[in-house]
Amino acid sequence: MKSVKIIGNLVSTILFFTLLIMAIVVISSRVTGGEPNVFGYQLKTVLSGSMEPVIQTGSIIAVKPGGDMTRFEKGDVITFTDKEDRLITHRIVNVKGSDEQLHYITKGDHNDGPDREPVLPQNVTAEYKGFTIPYVGYLFNFADSKSGGALLLIIPGLLLIGYSIFAVWKVISEMDTRKKRETTSVD
């Protein structure tokens, strides 16, 4: 009986923390426009395999925005915007020019050749700092959708409510069984 109570408490705790984590993911992705900030780092979702195996598709990465965008060297990994205003994270394979003429030649680690267009320092938004969590990006991307955000809050909440109803029903059943035993033993 004691082990059932311990398991029940463990299930309740897991469901509660799942609900809490899902709420944080959904709210932070809504407030920040899909990219939460943690201690000055932006969390970005990686949706392509261009940087594999270093950065897997579906990962989230931490990038540090700001600073002098002319400071980067060959081998640094930067996040930049392309002509279509898409965010891309690639490695610098060459630095060309100096001062006002500076530009970076970038390439995804998994790509065969360098990117077609050089990256100007004003298009660099952040530097990748080596922090990656695989597969969590899929969750962030799903949470950013209307149905995903609702489901990530509703499902753990329903599970928690369902488990609470089951726990109350179990306690009532045990009380009825005790009452029946007491009534039978008195007769």
How many other C-beta atoms can be found within 10 angstroms of the C-beta atom of residue 127?
19
Predicted confidence at residue 125, as pLDDT, reads 92
| AA identity, residue 165 | I
The CA distance from 63 to 54, in Å, is 15
Name the fold adopted by 35-135: Umud Fragment, subunit A (2.10.109)
Q: Residues 19, 21, 22, 28: is their CA dihedral positive or negative?
A: positive
The CA distance from 169 to 50, in Å, is 53
Q: Residue ranges per domain, the chain?
A: 1-33+144-171, 35-135
| 95 contacts 74 by C-beta, under 8 angstroms | yes
Predicted confidence at residue 36, as pLDDT, reads 63
Please work out, in degrees rounded to the nearest 5, the angle formed at the alpha carbon of residue 77 by the alpha carbons of 133 and 131: 20
Tokens of 37: 């900030």
Low-confidence spans in the chain with pLDDT less than 50: none
**Residues annotated as catalytic (active site), given as ranges:** 48
Tokens of 129: 């700092």
DSSP state of 120: P
Predicted confidence at residue 110, as pLDDT, reads 93
The CA distance from 17 to 128, in Å, is 30
pLDDT > 90: what percent of the chain?
Answer: 27
Of 71, 94, 90, the closest CA to residue 80 belongs to 90
Predicted confidence at residue 138, as pLDDT, reads 76
Q: What is the pLDDT of residues 106-127, one digit of tens each?
A: 999 999 999 999 999 999 999 9
Coil/strand/helix, residue 37: strand
86 φ/ψ sector (left φ>0, alpha ψ -120 to 50, else beta): beta
- The pTM (predicted TM-score) of the whole model is 0.62
Token pair 């990465």 is found at 61
Predicted confidence at residue 160, as pLDDT, reads 76
